[in-house]
Amino acid sequence: MGCSASLPAKSVGGVGSLDGESSNPADSNNLRVKLVLLGDSGVGKSCIVLRFVRGQFDPTSKVTVGASFLSQTLALQDSSTIKFEIWDTAGQERYAALAPLYYRGAGAAIVVYDITSPESFIKAQYWVKELQKHGNPDIVMALVGNKADLNENRSVQSQDARDYADKNGMFFIETSAKTADNINQLFEEVAKRLPRPAPLP
């Protein structure tokens, strides 16, 4: 069952934009959830999504403009399915002010940094704070250290990230979109933590 992160409760909640009908699933076995990826530019948000949705990895990755929308349905072991409606946002600074457009009403957020870039880890913390302030109070948050295949260039220690995640009620995982390492696990973990509507009597 869902163990949603405990967050300050003063957020605005899911008013308005880009919501679709995602937060009101028809039945407990077939959830739809809006998921947003946030993080600095170049950390591999699009690569994570494309690996998850299409099983592809393109080393000549493209700069995202605004936000891309993709969806993927995940079948869980308990025979329920979850349809992720994924907003893959641009990491560029000029889009930061527009991020609420994409994360408002999101049931889950994946905050990504690059394990070889301390700046991107700092940026990730900025996004966590932003979500805590303005995001959906029930949002499930994941902190993801991507590019785990570049371990020899690591400059963000796993333990530091894990501590930070624990403090902020997030779960933490290191992934590699390149090798596909932990990508499915990431989304499965998000799925497990999503609050489920109470089963019908």
Partner 1 sequence: MDSNPDNPVQDQDPASESDEPSPADPNQNRTDTTEPDDPPPADSDINPTQTSESVEHNTVEPESSVPERLKSLTLQEPSSEDIRQKHVSNGSLPADFYASDEIEIVEEEEEEGGLASSSGGGGVVTWTNRSDGPPSPSSSGYAAEGGSSVASSGGVEEETEGNSDWGREKKHFHEDDGSDSWRKRKKHFFILSNSGKPIYSRYGDEHKLAGFSATLQAIISFVQNSGDSIKFVRAGKHLIIFLVKGPIYLVCISCTDEPIEALRGQLELLYGQMLLILTKSVNRCFEKNPKFDMAPLLGGTDAVFSSLIHSFSWNPATFLHAYTCLPLSYPTRQAASAILQDVAESGILFAILMCKHKVVSLVGAQKASLHPDDIFLLANFILSSESFRTSESFSPICLPRYNPMAFLYAYVHFLDLDTYLVLLTTSSDSFYHLKDCRVRVQNVLAKSNVLSEIQRSMLESGLRIEDLPSEPTRPPVERINTESISTQRTVGGSAGLCHFMYKSVYLNQFVSSDFSAPLKNPNQQKRLYRAYQKMYASMHDKGTGTHKTQFRRNQDYVLFCWITQDFELYATFDPLADKAQAIKVCNRVCQWVRDLENEIFLYAESTFSW
**Residues binding partner 1 (CB under 8 A):** 16-20, 41-42, 46, 50, 60-70, 88, 90, 92-95, 98, 101
Q: Which is nearer to partner 1, 18 or 143 (CB)?
A: 18
Distance in angstroms (rounded) separating the CA atoms of residues 118 and 191: 28
Tell me the C-alpha to C-alpha distance, in Å, between residue 58 and each of 44, 62, 64, 120, 182. Answer: 11, 9, 13, 21, 17
- 16 CB neighbour count, 10 Å cutoff: 11
Q: What is the nearest approach in angstroms of partner 1 to the Cβ of residue 48?
A: 13
| Comparison of 101 and 164: residue with beta carbon closer to partner 1 | 101
C-beta of 5 vs 49, nearer to partner 1:
49
Distances (CA, A) of 76 to 52, 138, 187: 15, 21, 10
Q: How far is the CB of 2 from partner 1 (least distance, A)?
A: 25
CB of residue 47 vs partner 1: minimum separation in angstroms? 11
Continuous H helices in the chain: 45-54, 99-103, 118-134, 158-167, 183-193
Q: How far is the CB of 150 from partner 1 (least distance, A)?
A: 16
Closest to partner 1 by CB, 65 vs 198, is 65
